[in-house]
């Protein structure tokens, strides 16, 4: 069996979706190691994660486009199962699936994988495939592994309900300066990123802080002693909820008095962003004001 290298153009990932396309080549042999047939074709693996669920979907689509010998004249069956991987904790795959593989016909194998427990776990399940074309010896191989899936039950996102994401994908928190509900906050982000050292959030990613650190950052940048006109609030950037927050004013930290409703609405959008992308303490993200 052989898997030719996968090019970058055949791989696509977001925070909750992954897809990898490739080629596969299988050579069947009898018990005396003599070739009896050959098959080759295309494979597509897709994985749909759920930031609000401990279960996710994995699919393998395989289409054989060439066959010779017994692999062309006799039925070939393909059995696929999910292996959670060496050292995997709290991972439960779905049942094994078997289908007949016919030339030039796409066949789908669908699985559900579940991550149990409360800890932060990393999973890299692989699809183990066994091709059978009697009387040849069955050929077992594994599809190329996809990126690592991280599952957690951290209370800072979605109230502690378990969810899973591709934590290697760094999302972007986008804000529009013309939005009538939080435009003032977006404008502050835009101005601060261009004035502060390193352009935090734009030139380099931010890191989500723990709630305790976020409180300290907020008190340092926007202390209660700071005057706030009626209907106004103190807005900080980098956000107090990041480890970059609470820096030196004018150098690595900015604060601005803006409309209270814009500050609250912007904060609500940031909280939604954290939940949607399952950003837990230590995770990276960008922030771009448009």
Could you give phi then psi for residue 124, rounded to 5 degrees?
Answer: -140, 65
The helix or strand, by DSSP H or E, that contains position 186, with its residue range, turns out to be helix 183-195
Q: Return the pLDDT at 3.
A: 52
Q: How confident is the model over 172-214, as pLDDT tens digits?
A: 999 999 999 999 999 999 999 999 999 999 989 999 999 999 9
> Which residue has 């996968």 as its token pair?
6
User: pTM for the full model?
Assistant: 0.90
Query: What is the 8-class DSSP label of residue 252?
Result: T
Residue 216: φ, ψ to 5°:
-65, -40
Bridge-based pairing state of the strands 284-289 and 172-175 = parallel
Distance set, CA 26 to CA 33, 60, 65, 70 (Å)? 14, 17, 12, 12
- Looking at the DSSP bridge assignments, the partners of residue 63 are 42
The H-or-E segment that residue 267 falls in is helix 260-276
Per-residue confidence of the chain (290 residues) as pLDDT tens digits? 455 554 454 889 999 999 999 999 999 999 999 999 999 999 999 999 999 999 999 999 999 999 999 999 989 999 999 988 665 667 777 789 999 999 999 999 999 999 988 999 999 999 999 999 999 999 999 988 899 999 999 999 999 999 999 999 999 999 999 999 999 999 999 999 999 999 999 989 999 999 999 999 999 999 999 999 999 999 999 999 999 999 999 999 999 999 999 999 999 999 999 999 999 999 999 999 99
């Amino acid at each position: 069996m052989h898997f030719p290298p996968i090019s970058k153009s055949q791989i696509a990932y977001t925070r909750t979706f992954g897809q990898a396309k490739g080629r596969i080549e299988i050579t069947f042999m009898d018990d005396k190691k003599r070739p009896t047939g050959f098959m080759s074709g295309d494979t597509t693996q897709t994985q749909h994660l759920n930031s609000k669920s401990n279960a996710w979907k994995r699919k393998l689509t395989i289409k054989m486009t060439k066959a010779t010998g017994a692999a062309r004249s006799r039925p070939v069956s393909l059995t696929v199962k999910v292996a959670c991987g060496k050292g995997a904790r709290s991972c439960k795959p779905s049942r094994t699936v078997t289908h007949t593989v016919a030339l030039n016909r796409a066949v789908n194998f669908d699985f559900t994988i579940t991550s149990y427990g409360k800890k932060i776990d990393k999973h890299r399940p692989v699809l183990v495939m066994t091709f059978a074309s009697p009387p040849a010896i069955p050929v077992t191989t594994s599809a190329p592994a996809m990126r690592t899936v991280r599952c957690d039950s951290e209370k800072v996102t979605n109230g502690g309900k378990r969810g899973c994401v591709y934590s290697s994908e760094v999302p972007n928190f986008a804000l529009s300066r013309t939005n009538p509900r939080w435009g003032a906050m977006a404008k502050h982000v835009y101005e601060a990123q261009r004035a502060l050292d390193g352009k935090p959030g734009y030139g380099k990613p931010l890191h989500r802080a723990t709630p305790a650190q976020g409180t300290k950052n907020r008190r340092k940048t926007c202390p209660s002693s700071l005057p706030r006109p009626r209907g106004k609030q103190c807005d900080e950037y980098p956000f107090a909820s990041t480890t970059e927050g609470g820096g030196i004013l004018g150098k690595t930290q900015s604060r601005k008095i803006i409309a209270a409703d814009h500050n609250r609405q912007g904060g609500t959008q940031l909280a939604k962003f954290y939940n949607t992308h399952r950003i837990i303490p230590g995770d990276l993200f960008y922030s771009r004001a448009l």
